[in-house]
Amino acid sequence: MAKPQQDATHEHMARLILALRSQGVTDAKVLNAIEKTPRELFTPELFKERAFEDSALPIACGQTISQPFIVGLMTQALKVEKRDRVLEIGTGSGYQTAVLSRLARLVYTIERYRTLMKDAEARFKLLGLTNVITRFGDGGKGWAAQAPFDKCMVTAAAPGEPTELLKQLKPTGVLVAPIGKGPVQTLRRYTGDGEGGFDVEDLLDVRFVPLLDGVAKEL
């Protein structure tokens, strides 16, 4: 028989999935990936009880773990396919990375805080996610040695068009990123037209921490 704690977790998760679906995250593969990813493992001890709430939560180094709805929406917008190699900028807690890893062949993820990177790596290990490749560095520059990527997701707000990252996409690749300098940014999707240009779509208003230059000096 399932323990009461397991029942409660199961129920919280079921409610979260319903909420995401009603807000437009309808891709069954994406919802399944979210369902398989225990968000409580990615939230700090202090906020474990709120892990299944549909809200962003603080993590170490003054950063945040994204709201599940935004994770679902961005993942859906990226149109990840199972043979894809995906580049993610801004590992943070590793939650979005873990969701992507359930859908893609390989996920390359870059974080500018050493502490966040180490904590995220420990979580990937614990979950047995062997298709995640991590790097401590400035994600704004991308990962040229591993390019070109099928898809790219940026989970920190880029002040303008992420030209360097767009250059590292395949000709028909897709990049999803919050773009803007203020507290509210536009979630934008760039889809390669196969001839070096991009179709650009604005999806919705979002609030992300900024994409900063260089690596963090603090741990």
Interface positions with ligand SAH (CB under 6 A): 63-66, 89-90, 92-93, 95-96, 110-113, 116, 138-140, 155-156, 209, 211-212
By CB atoms closer than 10 A (0-12, 13-18, 19+), residue 108 is: buried
| Nearer Cβ to ligand SAH (63/101) | 63
CB 158 within 8 A of CB 135: no
CB 87 within 8 A of CB 165: yes
Told to judge if 66 belongs to the known catalytic residues of this protein, a careful annotator would answer: yes
Say how many CA atoms lie within 13 Å of 188 toward its Cβ. Answer: 18
| Nearer Cβ to ligand SAH (166/212) | 212
| Nearer Cβ to ligand SAH (195/219) | 219
- How far apart are CB 119 and ligand SAH at their closest, in Å? 10
Residue by residue, DSSP assigns 70-96 as HHHHHHHHHT--TT-EEEEE--TTSHH
- How far apart are CB 110 and ligand SAH at their closest, in Å? 5
What dihedral angle (degrees, nearest 10) is formed by the CA atoms of 105, 132, 100, 48? 150
What dihedral angle (degrees, nearest 10) is formed by the CA atoms of 95, 96, 98, 103? 160
With both helix axes pointing from N to C terminus, report the angle between 4-22 and 68-78 in degrees, rounded to the nearest 10.
60
| Nearer Cβ to ligand SAH (7/181) | 181
| Nearer Cβ to ligand SAH (195/218) | 218
- How far apart are CB 10 and ligand SAH at their closest, in Å? 22
Q: How far apart are CA 158 and CA 155, in angstroms?
A: 9
Out of 22, 55, 66, 93, the active site residue is 66
- How far apart are CB 170 and ligand SAH at their closest, in Å? 21
Residues annotated as catalytic (active site), given as ranges? 66
